[in-house]
Amino acid sequence: MGLILSFLAFVASLLCGRRSLGAGMVVVLGVGFFYGILRAKFFDGFSHFMFDAASLGLYLARFTSPGGLRALPQTRALYRWAGVLIGWPVVMFGMGILYPIHPLVQLVGLRAAVWFLPFLLLGASARLQDLILVARALAVLNLAALAFAMGEYFLGIEPFFPRNGVTEIMYRSHDVAHFEHHRIPATFLASAAYGSVMVGTIPWLAGRWQMPGVALLERGLLSAGLLAAALGTFLCGSRTPVVLLLVTGPIVAYHFRVKLRYLIGALVLAAIVAYFVAGDERMQRFTTLEDTDMVNDRVAQSANVGFLELPLEYPLGAGLGSAWGTSIPAFLAHLAPPAIGAENEYARIGIEQGLVGLTFWLGFLCWFFCRRRRALLPGWELGGKLMFIYALLIWGTAWIAVGSLTAIPGTSIILFQMGVLGRERAVGVPVPPRSVRRTAGRLQLADSTSPGRGT
């Protein structure tokens, strides 16, 4: 069954991706939203590759078709960084004979290191209509995920997720409301994945919600999607997504202040969420962050040991697939070496790719966050700002979490958003030929130096 689902995901994303980037992304994200529950239900080796198959279909649709190639951006710096980030793990894989790790496990590590990076280039080629289409789809997907989450809230996770190797961690997370309930994963494989994806959809939904000319029915759908995202963030029982939401929410409200009806709408949504959270202990696990000793111990475990010591202990890397946090399929678990590391994404990169790979990633992130922001697509200014903030929060907390490069579908969402922000100019805005630009520049210079200018 897993093979059939993977084939259907590939075909659907390939066909829809040839129509438009937005349609292809809708299919990929739809597969990603239901990947966890489908993989748990159909626990075979092929189901592990459903999302990979959907991504491959979109890659082929956009990178091999004439229409997709014409839409690729003229973003040289982003191309260079993508080439470096993909190229070094490939070199590491080529040197795999130096590491005592099975080639299949190294192949899994290579997949974790490079497979989702093309979403950077896809995001850079996105047009406004692609972003709008994805925003609408995410609103529907958020509501579907909330429906499953409510079912798990009242019935427990047992009717939705069978006990097997995929759901082992899920059943161990029985620490909500005085250890009486499980965390809620909705349709995902982990509660943290559910919550993080919900926060990751807010830039899309809020960005579209505040655009002028949105029909009342669509604005209602987007509002429901935002409400589902906020409720799901608290409902999942994971703490980090709540922190991300509490940072993102006030920023959304601040930008909505320009129009009173926008601000009132945001405050109404916030009041509804606060009402449900305040009256339900199961949605208040984030309050354990008040325990400063626990927080200090948790941060120390990831930051002090993981980020500083482990990459220095393995300056040339311990080999792809060797670090804690790289998802090794259950059918290859017997070939995998004991995992090295802590709950720290930077440490995971450093352990597997060595100090060279870690340096490349830190350099890319410094370039991305410190570069001068270019003009975004017209009408997507708020969505772009929220995408930037979300990317900053994800990578700013990656030293106490893993999954920034391996989460499904979280990684594709964050990298696509970074691609949208990494473009050098707005896609779809015509650029005059070089000769015309030179002529225009000379005319402007002559005009600026002519007598009487500015009078």
Reported pTM: 0.87
436 inside domain? no
> Is 429 among the domain residues?
no
In a domain, 63, yes or no: yes
Asked if residue 368 belongs to a domain, the reply is yes
Q: Are residues 232 and 106 in the same domain?
A: yes
Q: Using CA atoms, how far apart are residues 186 and 369, in angstroms rounded to an integer?
A: 32
Domain that holds residue 386: 72-422
In a domain, residue 116? The reply is yes
- The token pair at 47 is 């189901």
Q: What is the pLDDT along the chain (455 residues), one digit of tens a residue?
A: 889 999 999 999 999 999 999 999 999 999 999 999 999 998 887 888 999 999 999 999 999 877 655 556 666 788 899 999 999 999 999 888 888 888 999 999 999 999 999 999 999 889 999 999 999 999 999 999 999 999 999 999 999 999 888 888 889 888 888 888 899 999 999 999 999 999 999 999 999 998 888 999 999 999 999 999 999 999 998 888 998 888 888 877 777 766 777 778 778 888 999 999 988 888 888 887 766 666 566 555 555 455 566 667 777 888 898 888 787 877 788 888 888 877 788 888 988 998 999 999 999 999 999 987 665 777 888 888 899 999 999 998 888 878 888 899 999 999 999 999 987 654 444 444 444 334 434 433 333 333 343 33
Is the backbone peptide bond immediately before 66 cis, with ω within 30 degrees of 0? no
pLDDT at 231: 95
Whether 50 and 123 share a structural domain: no
411 and 287 in one domain?
A: yes
**Nearest CA among 151, 129, 133, 143 for reference residue 220:** 143
Residues 53 and 180 placed together within one structural domain of the fold: no
User: What is the DSSP-derived secondary structure letter of residue 452?
Assistant: T
Contact between residue 431 and residue 438 where contact means Cβ atoms under 8 Å apart: no
Q: Do both 261 and 393 map to the same domain?
A: yes
- Answer yes or no: do 348 and 390 share one domain: yes
- Examine the domain organization and report whether 52 and 79 are in the same domain: no
**Does one domain contain both 151 and 229?**
yes
Look at residues 48, 71, 94 and tell me which one is the last residue of a structural domain. 71
Residues 159 and 274 in one domain: yes
pLDDT of residue 308: 60
Mark whether 21 and 105 lie in a shared domain: no
Residue 265 lies in a domain: yes
Q: 190 near 170, Cβ under 8 Å?
A: yes
Whether residue 88 sits in one domain with residue 57: no
Residue 76, pLDDT score:
78
Q: What is the pLDDT of residue 438?
A: 41
Domain boundary among 55, 71, 87: 71
Residue 396 lies in a domain: yes
Percent helix / strand / coil, the chain, rounded to 5 = 70, 0, 25
The secondary structure element, H or E, covering residue 18 is: helix 2-19
Do 44 and 79 share a domain, yes or no?
no
How many domains would you assign to the chain?
2
Q: What pLDDT is stored for residue 310 in this prediction?
A: 66
**Residue 335, domain member (yes or no):** yes
